[in-house]
């Protein structure tokens, strides 16, 4: 896997690794061929913020699966701690964790993917990697240990990426609830004078909506 300045970047293929999880050994990304997956790290088991995140991920797991997307958790705790923690969540909070949790107790994958930021300590930060059905990293997010993530935003981002891929369009801020465009999508900017003129002609005919030749949008 090629690295840019020591960091994993969007557009790279996810590294081929074998990992120990609460659901047994997994081969990434091979075991998820044909599926998208969201790999998210947490600083540690039996911690309050991480527990709230795991509950939210668990409650949204079926929504991710509806998008052909699986969830995978990770921290540098041992698998025994993961198992005990997910048991505690089930027994005390009534929520079953349906996804595997990687026990990266040697920190190899965490270091490879840049999940450990020395300025924030020796545990993994709250990293998120969205990987598509071809094993390509499509989105990366980092949160510090003290701020929990918004699971709905991660779900929105996966949906937006898939709609973009399918339709060859770009997605506005907070799609499908953008204050300017609503649920409409952005047509890629014209790359030539002829295409720019064509766009404006289509706008005159009502076939396309444009603020200008470089900013056109449409309904899906």
User: pTM of the full predicted structure?
Assistant: 0.93
pLDDT on residue 1 = 38
Instruction: Determine the Cα–Cα distance for residues 37 and 32; give it in Å rounded to an integer.
Output: 7
Residue where the block lists tokens 């965490």: 110
For the segment 36-41, the average pLDDT, to the nearest whole number, is 98
Give me the DSSP letters along the chain: ---BTTB--TTSBPP-EEEEETTEEEEETGGGTTSEEEEEE-S-SS-HHHHHHHHHHHHHHHHHHTTTEEEEEEESS-HHHHHHHHHHHHHHH-----S-EEE-TT-HHHHHTT-B-GGG-SSB-EEEEEE-TTSBEEEEEEE-TTS---HHHHHHHHHHHHHHHHHT-B--TTTTSBTTTBT-EEEPPPSSHHHHHHHHHHHHTTSSEEEETTEEEE--
Render pLDDT for 148-183 as a digit per residue (tens, 0 to 9). 999 999 999 999 999 999 999 999 999 999 999 999
| Contact assessment for residue 144 and residue 125, using Cβ atoms and an 8 Å cutoff | yes
Q: Which two tokens stand for residue 173?
A: 């801020």
- pLDDT-based confidence at residue 30 (cuts at 50, 70, 90): very high
Domains present along the chain, CATH in parentheses: 17-149 (3.40.30.10), 168-220 (3.30.1020.10)
Q: Residue 204 above 90 pLDDT?
A: yes
| Contact assessment for residue 133 and residue 68, using Cβ atoms and an 8 Å cutoff | yes
Question: What phi and psi values does residue 186 have, to the nearest 5 degrees?
Answer: -95, 130
The verdict on whether 50 is a catalytic residue reads yes
Render pLDDT for 123-137 as a digit per residue (tens, 0 to 9). 899 999 999 999 999
- pLDDT-based confidence at residue 5 (cuts at 50, 70, 90): very low
| Contact assessment for residue 50 and residue 43, using Cβ atoms and an 8 Å cutoff | yes
Q: What's the angle, vertex CA 197, arms to CA 192 and CA 199, rounded to 5?
A: 95
List the one residue out of 29, 7, 1 whose CA is nearest residue 111. Answer: 7
The pLDDT > 70 percentage for the chain reads: 97
Q: Of the listed 38, 50, 76, 97, which one is catalytic?
A: 50
Instruction: Determine the Cα–Cα distance for residues 73 and 52; give it in Å rounded to an integer.
Output: 13
Render pLDDT for 82-132 as a digit per residue (tens, 0 to 9). 999 999 999 999 999 999 999 999 999 999 999 989 888 888 999 999 999
């Amino acid at each position: 896997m090629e690295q840019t300045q020591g960091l994993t970047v969007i557009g790279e293929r996810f590294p081929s690794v074998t990992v120990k999880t609460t659901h047994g050994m997994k081969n990434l990304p091979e075991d998820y061929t044909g599926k998208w997956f969201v790999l998210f790290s947490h600083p540690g088991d039996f911690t309050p913020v991480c527990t709230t995140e795991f509950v939210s991920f668990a409650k949204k797991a079926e929504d991710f699966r509806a998008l052909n997307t699986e969830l995978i958790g990770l921290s540098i705790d041992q698998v025994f701690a993961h198992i005990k923690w997910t048991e505690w969540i089930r027994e005390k909070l009534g929520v079953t964790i349906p996804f595997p949790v990687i026990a990266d107790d040697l920190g190899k994958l965490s270091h490879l993917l840049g999940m450990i930021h020395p300025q924030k300590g020796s545990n993994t930060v709250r990293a998120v990697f969205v990987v598509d059905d071809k094993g390509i990293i499509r989105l990366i997010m980092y949160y510090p240990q003290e701020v929990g993530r918004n699971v709905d935003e991660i779900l929105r981002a996966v949906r937006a990426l898939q709609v973009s891929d399918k339709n060859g369009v770009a997605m506005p801020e907070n799609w499908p609830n953008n204050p300017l465009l609503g649920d409409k999508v952005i047509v890629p900017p014209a790359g030539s004078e002829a295409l720019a003129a064509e766009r404006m002609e289509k706008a005159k005919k009502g076939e396309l909506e444009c603020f200008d030749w470089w900013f056109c949008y449409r309904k899906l």
